[in-house]
């Protein structure tokens, strides 16, 4: 471990200890008094999972923490970027992996039929949809599945329909398939609510072969209703656009909202779609590299399957299977915890972060922060223009805001401009962390703004 790692470990430990004492690391160390704020909603543990535990990931080559440190240096105290979770894994996953490691042979592994049956059972139990296990195709991630589908339906150079802001990784998938984005910007009202602009959506659908649906939508958090999904599905069917439904965030739904699977719609619409999923978001198994897609339409499925090759790893399969078979109590508990994190972040931002606006999302564990006013205050656009003109790598206003938060608050956020049209003026903040880390990140941002 480097000296830098151990400094950060000390911070994280004190943040964890402070959370138990009801104070932040800074105050515990006798530094600045903390600003008054509403107390976090008390969390009721229905099981024995301690999501308040600050579980240190620094120095493990994690993208979320170590890459932020590599980019901005030692001052990073909260990595709130890439969409994975900071919690200790579900015990059933760790136990299954430990048990498999007692058999010290890692040769080729057969995937038994019961594997697809476990995926089908999970979908039946949690979302009430029936999936034929034979229609499930495994991949090493949602990305490789979507890329295989784009290779199948959308020849190089053709436009692919997206409703934006949307998951930035889709733009990488388009690059891999040599296709181009056709962004249909969503309409956002003064309260921060997003909806589809159906006229624009249909105009673009006429020239596209595929639409990547994000349900729930990363980064805005929309859980699309049956009416919205039907409307999008009908337009796509009318114009022969295949719907690629990425539903990887489907387990994360905030209180009072619901996830509607695209596959639960009218069969005619479902037959024009493939759904992409994984336990990797729900259980934070991102680097285990196991995902799947399925379709009720044998012809679509066979065509994409012909472009898919996935060799899953032993440990990825073991972890996923354990999560699906035994992980529900952990996940149900976690969903409540994350909902409370959302509530905490929403009220804290409203009360303590001038120039930043935020509305709690219906789904995902992501907060989509409107930083437009704040960006103007620091003249982010002017700085970006000056730096670009001076010949440094092209910089945009959100990257300037990112740097500002990283350097002055030690908090790493994702720049909204990478989420397509409509993302400018926003930053994405990952709330899937122990409350103490979320609290510290928000406090540090507040202190940096106050010190301006
Ligand atoms: C909407 C969405 N799709 C796909 C992915 C990545 O999926 P995978 O790691 O399985 O390729 C992410 C990761 O953040 C995501 O948010």
Tens-digit pLDDT profile for residues 108-166 = 999 999 999 999 999 999 999 999 999 999 999 999 999 999 999 999 999 999 999 99
* 218, 276, 279: residue to mutate for ligand 1 pocket, most atoms within 8 A of CB: 218
Residue 24 has pLDDT above 50, yes or no: no
C-beta 167 within 6 A of ligand 1: yes
Rounded Cα distance, 228 and 222, in Å? 11
The residue whose CB lies within 8 Å of the most ligand 1 atoms, and thus the one to mutate among 169, 220, 308, is 169
What pLDDT score was predicted for residue 47? 57
In this predicted structure, the answer to whether residue 28 has a pLDDT above a threshold of 50 is no
Using DSSP, state whether 140 is helix, strand or coil.
coil
10 Å CB burial of residue 48 (0-12, 13-18, 19+) is exposed
252 lines ligand 1 (CB under 6 A): no
Structure confidence at residue 18 as a pLDDT band (50, 70, 90)? very low
Mean pLDDT of 366-387: 96
Q: What is the mean pLDDT of the chain?
A: 91
Atom of ligand 1 minimally distant from the CA of 84: 14
Q: Cα separations (Å) of 274 from 32, 122, 232, 268, 442?
A: 53, 18, 14, 13, 39
pLDDT given for residue 233 in this prediction: 98
Q: Tokens for 74?
A: 């030692």
Higher pLDDT among residues 32 and 285, named by residue: 285
Residue 171 Cα to ligand 1 middle (Å): 12
User: Is the pLDDT assigned to residue 298 strictly greater than 70?
Assistant: yes
Which mutation among 252, 281, 285, 419 tests ligand 1's pocket best, with the greatest number of atoms within 8 A of CB?
Answer: 281
Averaged over 278-296, what is the pLDDT? 98
Best of 143, 215, 251, 430 for a ligand 1 pocket test (most atoms within 8 Å of beta carbon): 143
139 lines ligand 1 (CB under 6 A): no
The yes-or-no verdict on residue 8 having pLDDT over 90 is: no
Beta-strand runs (E) in 252-299: 273-277, 291-294
Q: Provide the pLDDT for residue 255.
A: 96
pLDDT in tens, 413-451: 999 999 999 999 999 999 999 999 999 999 999 999 999
Q: What is the pLDDT of residue 16?
A: 42
- Rounded to the nearest angstrom, the distance between the alpha carbon of 242 and the centre of ligand 1 is 19
Point out the least confidently predicted range of 49-58, 197-206, 336-345, 383-392.
383-392
The closest residue, in CA terms, to atom 13 on ligand 1 is 83
Could you tell me if 423 and 414 are in contact, meaning their C-beta atoms sit under 8 angstroms apart?
A: no
pLDDT surpassing 50 at residue 301: yes
Determine the distance separating the centroid of ligand 1 and the alpha carbon of 24, expressed in angstroms: 32
Residue 309: predicted pLDDT: 94
Separation of CA 183 and ligand 1 centre (Å): 19
The tokens describing 252, both together, are 């994360």
Locate the ligand 1 atom nearest the alpha carbon of residue 364 and give its number: 16
Taking the model in full, what pTM does it have? Answer: 0.91
Reported confidence tier of residue 4, pLDDT bands at 50, 70, 90: very low
Is the model's pLDDT at 13 over the cut of 60? no
Q: What is the pLDDT of residue 198?
A: 98
Banded model confidence at residue 393, pLDDT cuts 50, 70, 90: confident
- Taken in order of first residue, the domains within the chain and their CATH numbers are 3-88+329-450 (3.90.1150.10), 98-326 (3.40.640.10)
- Dist CA 178 CA 104 (whole Å): 42
The closest residue, in CA terms, to atom 5 on ligand 1 is 142
Bridge partners, residue 253, by sequence = 363
Q: Quick check: CB of 280 below 6 Å from ligand 1?
A: yes
Verify whether ligand 1 is closer than 6 Å to residue 366 (CB atom). no
Which value, in Å, is the radius of gyration of the alpha carbons in the chain?
22
- State percent of the chain over pLDDT 90: 87
- For residues 67 and 414, give the distance between their C-alpha atoms in angstroms, rounded to a whole number: 12
CA 272 – CA 199 distance, rounded (Å): 21
Atom of ligand 1 nearest to the CA of 280: 10
- Confidence grade of residue 43 (pLDDT, cut at 50, 70, 90): very low
- The whole-number pLDDT of residue 48 equals 73
Confidence of residue 211 (pLDDT cuts 50, 70, 90): very high
Tell me 240's DSSP state.
T
| Ligand 1 within 6 A of CB of 273 | no
Residue 366 bridge partners (DSSP): 430
Q: For ligand 1, is residue 214 a contact (CB within 6 Å)?
A: yes
* pLDDT band at residue 323 under the 50/70/90 scheme: very high
Give the whole-number percent of the chain exceeding pLDDT 70: 90
Mean pLDDT, rounded, for 246-253:
98
Cβ contacts of residue 165 below 8 Å, gap of 6+?
186, 219, 220, 368, 416, 419, 420, 421, 422, 423, 426
């Amino acid at each position: 471990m480097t000296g830098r790692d151990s400094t950060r470990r000390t911070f994280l430990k004190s943040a964890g200890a402070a959370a138990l004492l009801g104070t932040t690391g800074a105050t515990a160390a006798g530094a600045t008094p903390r600003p008054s704020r509403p107390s976090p909603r008390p969390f009721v543990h229905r099981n024995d999972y301690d999501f308040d535990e600050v579980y240190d990931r620094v120095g493990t080559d994690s993208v979320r923490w170590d890459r932020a440190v590599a980019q901005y240096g030692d001052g990073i105290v909260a990595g709130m970027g890439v969409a994975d979770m900071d919690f200790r894994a579900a015990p059933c996953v760790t136990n299954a992996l430990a048990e498999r490691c007692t058999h010290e042979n890692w040769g080729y592994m057969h995937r038994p039929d019961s594997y697809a049956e476990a995926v089908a059972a999970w979908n039946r139990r949690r979302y009430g949809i029936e999936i034929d296990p034979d229609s499930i195709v495994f991949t090493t991630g949602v990305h490789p599945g979507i890329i295989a589908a784009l290779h199948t339906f959308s020849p190089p150079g053709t436009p692919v329909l997206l409703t934006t802001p949307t998951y930035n990784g889709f733009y990488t998938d388009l690059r891999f398939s040599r296709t181009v984005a056709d962004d249909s910007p969503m309409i956002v009202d003064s309260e921060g609510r997003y909806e589809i602009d159906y006229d624009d959506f249909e105009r673009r659908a006429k020239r596209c072969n595929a639409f990547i649906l994000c349900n729930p939508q990363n980064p805005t958090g929309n859980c699309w209703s049956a009416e919205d999904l039907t409307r999008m599905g009908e337009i796509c069917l009318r114009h022969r656009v295949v719907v690629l439904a990425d539903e990887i965030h489907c387990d994360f739904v905030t209180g009072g909202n619901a996830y509607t699977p695209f596959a639960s719609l009218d069969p005619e619409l479902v037959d024009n779609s493939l759904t992409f999923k994984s336990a990797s978001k729900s259980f934070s198994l991102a680097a285990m590299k196991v995902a799947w897609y399925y379709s009720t339409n044998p012809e679509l499925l066979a065509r994409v399957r012909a472009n898919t090759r996935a060799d899953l790893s032993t440990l990825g399969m073991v972890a996923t299977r354990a999560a699906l078979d035994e992980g529900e109590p952990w996940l149900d508990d976690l969903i409540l915890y994350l909902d409370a994190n959302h509530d905490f972040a929403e009220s804290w931002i409203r009360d303590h972060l001038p120039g930043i606006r935020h509305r709690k999302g219906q789904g995902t564990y992501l907060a989509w922060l409107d930083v437009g006013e704040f960006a103007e205050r620091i003249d982010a656009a002017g700085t970006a223009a000056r730096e670009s003109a001076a010949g440094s790598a092209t910089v945009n206003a959100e990257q300037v805001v990112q740097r500002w938060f990283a350097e002055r608050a030690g908090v790493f956020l994702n720049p909204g401009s990478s989420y397509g049209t409509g993302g400018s003026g926003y930053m994405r903040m990952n709330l899937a962390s122990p409350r103490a880390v979320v609290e510290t990140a928000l406090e540090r941002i507040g202190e940096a703004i106050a010190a301006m």
